Structure 1
Amino acid sequence: MEQQEQQELTREQRLEIEDKAIQALLSMGAKFTVPLKINPVKPSKWFNLKKRLFPKRNVVWRDKQIPKDWDVTLTDIPDVETGTMKEVYMRNFHIKPLYLGTIDRLRQLYMLMEYNEDVVQAQPIQESKRLFKYIPQMAEIAAVAVINDPIVADLKNKSVRDLKQFFMEHLTVARLQKLAEVINQMMNPAGFTSSIRLIREMGTTRPKTENDRIE
C-alpha cells in the first residue's frame, strides 16, 4: 500500500494548536526540575533489613541531606565527563496559575530592573554583562512565581528568601530562560488586558432607561 503523505499544518491550524497549549498551561500550570548538588546516598543496610523483616509496612527511604518539605526524585542523567549515566537528585517544582497578588509582586520586582532594548541591540555584550547585576532579582522573581501565595507580599518572608537563595545556587542561565518564558505565559498579560477592556466597555455603555427595558 502506498503511504499517504502527511499534509503540513496550515498557519491557522498551528495557531490553534499553540493556543490550546497556552490555555492548558494557564489552567494546569507547569512543572520543572532543578538538579541538586548532593550526591545520592543508598539506603542503609538497616533500612533494607527492616524492609525484608516487615514487607507489609510502607517504609520510604529518605536521604537526611534533603529537607523534608522538598519534593525530590532520583533521576538518571548523562555524565559528560564519563560518557555514562549517573543518578542525581532532582528537586521538583510546580508553577500554578498566578494569582493577582503574585503578579503585582512580580510587577514590583520588574520595575527595579533597568532594561533598554535599543542599548542591548547596540552593545549586546557590554549590556548583557551589565544586566548580570540583576541575578538576585531574577532569582527572587522565580521564587515568588513558584510560591504563588499571599506571603510573597511580605518583603522579609523566609520562604521567599530561602527559595531565592536556592535558585541563585542551583539555576543555570538556560533553565532561568525557560522558567522566565513559563512565568510570562502564566501571568497571562493578554487576558488581563482583555479584562480591563471589558471593564472599560461596561463603563462607557449607556444604561437602559425604564422605557428601553423589556417587561
Structure 2
Amino acid sequence: MNDLNIWQQLIEQSQLRWREVLEATSIHIQLVFFSMIIATILAVALGILVTRVPALKTVVLGGTGVLQTIPSLALLGFMIPIFGIGVKTAIAALFLYSLLPILRNTYTGIKDVDAATIEAARGMGMTSMQILFKVELPLAIPIIMAGIRTAAVINVGNATLAAFIGAGGLGDFIFLGITRGIDGLILLGAIPATILAIGLETFFSGVERWTTPKGLR
C-alpha cells in the first residue's frame, strides 16, 4: 500500500473515530499519571532510605533492576492473577517499570551532593532531617526530575500494551489496526502516543532546567 493511501486511511479514520481518540488519549494519560504518582512517591522514599542505610543498596536497586528485565507483556501476565484484567493491572505494571529510573536518580542525586556542603550545614546546627530537606533534596531535584522524565516517556510507550488486557488507551487503535490490516488505524494510535511522549519529554526537560541552579545550567 502506498503512502498516499495510508494517509487517506488516517484522515478517514480520524473523521470517524475522533471522539474515541480523545477518550483513549484521556485514558492513556490517566494510566501514565497515576502510575507515575505512586512510583515517584515510593521511589524517592526508597532512594532516601538507601542513602541512609547503604546495606540496602544491593537489594533495593538490584530488585528494581530485575523488574526492568521482565518483558512488558510478561509483567502484565504476572499482574493479572493479582489484580485481574483491566486498569489496575496496567497501572501496577507501569508503576513497577517506573521505579528504577526514579530510584536510581534519587540515590545518585543525594549521594552526589558535595560533602563540604553537608558539613557546612551541620556546622550551622542543622539536624539530619533539615539537611535532607533543605540541602540534599533541593540540590538533587534536577537529577530526580531527569529520572521522572525518563520513566514518564518510557511509560507512554509501555501503556500502549494495556490494550492487551482491556485497560484501554491508544494501544487499542494500534492493535485493532494490526488485526484488521489498516495502517491508518495504527497511525491513529501511534501519532497521539508519540505526541504525548514528546510533550512529556519537553515538559520535564523544562522543569529539570528550571530546578537546576543557575551556576550549574
TM-score, length basis structure 1 = 0.25
Structure number with greater Rg is 1
Q: Which has the higher strand share?
A: 1
